[in-house]
Amino acid sequence: MNYVIVGNSVAAVGAIRAIRALDQQGNITVISREKHNAYGRPLISYLLGGLINEKRMSYLPDDFYNQNRINLLLNSEVIGVDTQTRQVKLAAGDSISYDRLLLATGGDPFIPPIEGMSDKDRIFTFTTWDDAAKLKVISQDINRAVVIGGGLIGLKAAEGLNLLNKSVTVIELADRVLSSAFDRPAGKIVARKMKANGIDVITEDTVVRIEGDGAEISGVTLKSGDFIPCDTLIVAIGVRPAAGFLKGSNIQVNRGIVVDNSMATSAENVYAAGDVAEAADFFSDQKNPMPIWPDAYIQGDIAGTAMAGGTKSYTGGLAMNSIEFFKVSTISMGITNPANPEEFEIHSFQDIQNYQYRKIILKNNLLVGAVLVGNVDRAGIFSGLIKEKIDMQQFKENLLLPDFGFVNLSREIRDALFAPTGKSTTCLVSSRPRQDDWTLDM
Amino acid sequence: MKRIYSIEDACIGCHLCEIGCITEHSLSKDPVKAFLHEKERPISRCTVEELNGGIISLSTTCRHCDEPDCLRACISGAIQKNCEGIVCLDREQCVGCWSCVMACPYGAVQRNLSSKKANKCDLCPDRETPACVEACPNRALVYREGSQK
């Protein structure tokens, strides 16, 4: 069996492990347009800011590719897929045959056309190790940077530059930063923290023109008419599924590559996973791209399992982010800011002065989302309650407790979720262990 | 694989499992030195939850899941599952992003805020039986073969 995986990040790793769990013999070829072994992509802001060195970028133990007998093709871009002859075509001209193909190419940063952009040197995106490396090389010469986009990528780029003592201005079109992952109070807390650390945050505005002579940038003009002087520009508006190479193939691409719950695409023997895929949403079941690291791993695992002949079913993408900004921890998951709040039950607690915020979103007594700022300890319990669809009717008030835990649920739920005594070996979910049950087992 | 299970009915809420854990992961492995004299006191990897002044209590800890959510969420690769099935955290590699805290449905990964590193059960590699299990005076923690759930 010839497995070919296009892409070499977390979805690919999930797939490799899943394939090798079922098939020790098959050939696995991994093709990546980047020059690096799999690395912690979200760590690029840590690298830029000097918080970690290059060695710590490695996502995997050194022997991973050898141990799993991977034929690794780096610096190789796939420019097409022929599903009839079952081949992928490389930019270098050669083709590689597959029996099972995984497309895990991730996302491409989106760069809108902006007047004055074409001849300028110092315009960057911020999604790859090389992006961070390029910025690091010229960092001595950066005095003032403007970041377009106040989402996760933009803010992390801004933080990285701020750690290098650069003056940074973030410009966001929406009325607040982090508008997709967070609600207004959480966005406010983060913006306040950024401002306290010297990052200028401008909302409800955008760059309409890049100013400067020749290749050099002198500043940007905003829609409001304001001029912000800068010498470097980072475009962090968003990421799009990197599926352009599938034009002309018979693989169905909507916004991302459309997949079913085994990550199979519309073409036989072709799978997709990670940021490039468009899979079902946990709540709505509607398909949409979900550029979330843990989700990419899970999709890769499911795709790899299917490719090697096993079966696992995707339960739907659940958005979740854990990001720290200047030592303020933030975790958000699920539905955090519903468009039609009257359909939801929302409880919250805020102490903005002390950077503390906790918000719980329920629908029909099921937990569907949470936002935690400051005290994020044990946030994962919420993700478990969301995924397991536990009826929270009797426990709603408890969810805002700062030390919320399993004791705040019922014994039955605890046993079902937590299986204190090991469900399969001793007792059923509903039965309580008797004293002699466990003393005998010891 | 062998896992740690918690017997709620037997738990007296004494927190000795936490003390045993802290002691085991200290430099001296001596409780008095660990609590009074060492510069960095470890954080317990098991958590005793209590309600109504201890009427209900139980100790929770890592289940060393077959498909660990913490590993899948980890952005740095600091969390790996070793060949014995133990879900290990490489403190050097950890960047303290708390993705594992976000993902673990058992609430079993702690934040060590002073070192800015995640903290989780390692099943005490230097011991035959984990320290928390041995410290429990009422055998409310058992270490035996069993499934994750």
Please say if the pLDDT value at position A414 is more than 90. Answer: no
**Token reading at A272:** 């997709």
How much is the pLDDT for A434?
Answer: 35
Q: What is the pTM of this model?
A: 0.93
Of A257, A274, A307, the position where a domain reaches its end is A307
Helices and strands (H, E) in chain B, number of each type: 5, 8
Comparing CB atoms, the residue among B6, B100, B144 nearest residue A420 is B6
Distance CA A412, CA B146 (A): 20
Looking at the partner chain, which of B93, B98, B149 has a beta carbon nearest the beta carbon of A329? B98
**Residue A244 sits in the same domain as residue A233:** no
> Structural domain boundaries of chain B?
1-61+121-149, 66-107
pLDDT (0 to 100) of residue B60: 87
Average pLDDT over residues A26-44: 97
Q: How far apart are CA A48 and CA A159, in angstroms?
A: 9
pLDDT above 90 (res B52): no
pLDDT range class, residue A440, cuts 50, 70, 90: very low
Mean pLDDT of A331-350: 94
Q: At A420, is the pLDDT very low, low, confident or very high (cuts 50, 70, 90)?
A: low
Query: Is residue A233 domain-shared with residue A248, that is, in the same domain?
Result: no
Q: What is the pLDDT of residue A241?
A: 97
Given CB atoms, is A377 within the 8 Å cutoff of chain B?
A: yes
Pair A129, A206 in one domain? yes
CATH number at residue A154: 3.50.50.60
Domain end call among A237, A263, A281:
A237
- The owner of tokens 């139980």 is B58
Query: In 10 A of CB A347, how many CB atoms?
Result: 13
CATH of the domain at A398: 3.30.390.30
- Is the pLDDT score of A198 beyond 90? yes
**pLDDT tens digit sequence for A250-304:** 999 999 999 999 999 999 999 999 999 999 999 999 999 999 999 999 999 999 9
Question: If you write DSSP's letter for every residue of A2-69 in order, what string do you get?
Answer: EEEEE--SHHHHHHHHHHHHH-SSSEEEEE-SSSSSSB-GGGHHHHHTTSS-GGGGB-S-TTHHHHTT
Q: Which residues of A259-285 are buried (b: 16+ CB within 10 A; e: fewer)?
A: beebbbbebeebbbbbbbbbbbebbee
Band (pLDDT 50/70/90 cuts) for residue A416 is confident
Nearest to A407 among B49, B72, B142 (CB): B49
What stretch of H or E contains B133?
helix B131-135
- Cα-to-chain-centroid distance, residue A36: 19
Provide the token pair at B62: 């890592």
Inter-chain contact B73–A294, Cβ cutoff 8 Å? yes
Q: Are residues A275 and A184 in the same domain?
A: no
* A377: closest CA of chain B, how far (Å): 7
Give me the pLDDT at residue B134, please: 96
**Strand pairing class (A227-229; A277-280):** unpaired
CA distance A88 to A12: 16
Whether A429 is in a domain gets the answer no
Q: What is the pLDDT of residues A385-408, one digit of tens each?
A: 999 999 999 999 899 998 899 999
Mean pLDDT for A3-14 is 98
In this prediction, residue A114 has a pLDDT band, given cuts at 50, 70 and 90, of: very high
**Residue A419 pLDDT grade (very low, low, confident, very high; cuts 50, 70, 90):** low
Q: Which residues of B touch A329 (CB under 8 A)?
A: 98, 111
What is the tens place of the pLDDT at every residue in A81-109?
999 999 999 999 999 999 999 999 999 99
- Which range of residues forms the domain containing residue A146? 123-237
Helix (H, G, I), strand (E, B) or coil at A158: helix
Q: Is residue A179 part of a domain?
A: yes
Inspect the interface and report whether the beta carbons of B109 and A380 lie closer than 8 Å: yes
- The whole-angstrom separation of Cα A229 and Cα A86 is 52
Nearest 5 degrees, angle CA A45-CA A49-CA A52? Answer: 85
- Closest to B101 measured CA to CA, from A133, A374, A36: A374
Residue B133 has pLDDT above 90, yes or no: yes
Among A220, A237, A254, give the residue marking a domain's end. Answer: A237
Question: Alpha-carbon Rg of chain A, whole angstroms?
Answer: 24
Is pLDDT at B88 greater than 60 in this prediction? yes
Q: Are A66 and A208 part of one and the same domain?
A: no
Over residues A139-162, the mean pLDDT reads 96
pLDDT band with cut points at 50, 70 and 90 for residue A128? very high
Sign of CA dihedral B2, B126, B21, B86: negative
Contact A31, A70 (CB under 8 A): no
Q: A261 and A226 in one domain?
A: no
Q: Over pLDDT 70: what percentage of chain B?
A: 100
- For A154-196, the pLDDT digits (tens) are 999 999 999 999 999 999 999 999 988 888 889 888 999 999 9
State the smallest CA–CA distance between residue A230 and chain B in angstroms: 30
* Mean pLDDT value of segment A195-213: 95
Mean pLDDT of the A310-324 span: 95
Look at the block and give the residue holding tokens 């049950």: A437
**pLDDT value of position A427:** 34
Shortest Cα–Cα distance, B137 to chain A (Å) = 13
Nearest to B105 among A381, A407, A424 (CB): A381
Terminal-residue alpha carbon distance, chain A: 46
**Number of domains into which chain A is organized:** 3
Domain B66-107 listed as CATH 3.40.50.150 = no
Inter-axis angle of helices A152-163 and A129-137, nearest 10: 30
* Chain centre distance of CA B35: 18
Considering the domain architecture, whether residues A129 and A228 belong to the same structural domain is answered as: yes
Average pLDDT over residues B15-34: 96
Q: Do A231 and A147 lie in a common domain? A: yes
The whole-number pLDDT of residue A326 equals: 86
Q: Cβ contacts of residue A342 below 8 Å, gap of 6+?
A: none
Q: Please state which CATH class domain B1-61+121-149 belongs to.
A: alpha beta
Pairwise CA distance, residues B79 & B76, whole Å: 8
Record the tokens describing residue A38, joined without a space: 């799999």
Residue B87: other Cβ atoms inside 10 A:
24
Asked whether residue A317 is assigned to any structural domain, the reply reads no
Would you state the pLDDT for residue B34?
Answer: 95
Q: Is the CB of B101 less than 8 angstroms away from the CB of A417?
A: no
User: Count of A–B CB contacts within 8 Å?
Assistant: 162
Condensed to tens digits (0 to 9), the pLDDT of residues B57-77 reads: 888 899 999 999 999 999 999
Using a CB-CB cut-off of 8 Å, the residues of chain A touching B75 are 40-43, 293
The reply to whether A137 falls in a domain is: yes
A172 and A89 housed in the same domain? no
Both A128 and A226 in one domain: the answer is: yes
State whether A376 and B101 contact (CB < 8 Å): yes
- Quote the mean pLDDT of chain A: 92
Q: Which of residues 48-107 of B touch A (CB under 8 A)?
A: 49-51, 56-58, 60, 67, 69-73, 75-77, 80, 92-93, 95-107
Q: Which of A207, A244, A242 is nearest to A226 (CA)?
A: A207
DSSP string, B101-127: HHH-TT---EEETTTTEEE-----TTS
Would residue A166 count as lying in a domain?
A: yes
Contacts of B142 in chain A (CB under 8 A): 421, 438, 441-442
- Evaluate if residue A433 carries a pLDDT over 60: no
The whole-number pLDDT of residue A442 equals: 33
CB contact under 8 A, B72 and A297: yes
Q: What is the 3-state secondary structure (H, E, C) of A385-439?
A: HHHCCCECHHHHHHHHCCCCCHHHCCHHHHHHHHCCCCCCCCCCCCCCCCHHHHH
Q: In the prediction, which pLDDT does A429 show?
A: 36
Q: What distance in Å separates the CA atoms of residue A202 and residue A198, rounded to the nearest whole number?
A: 13
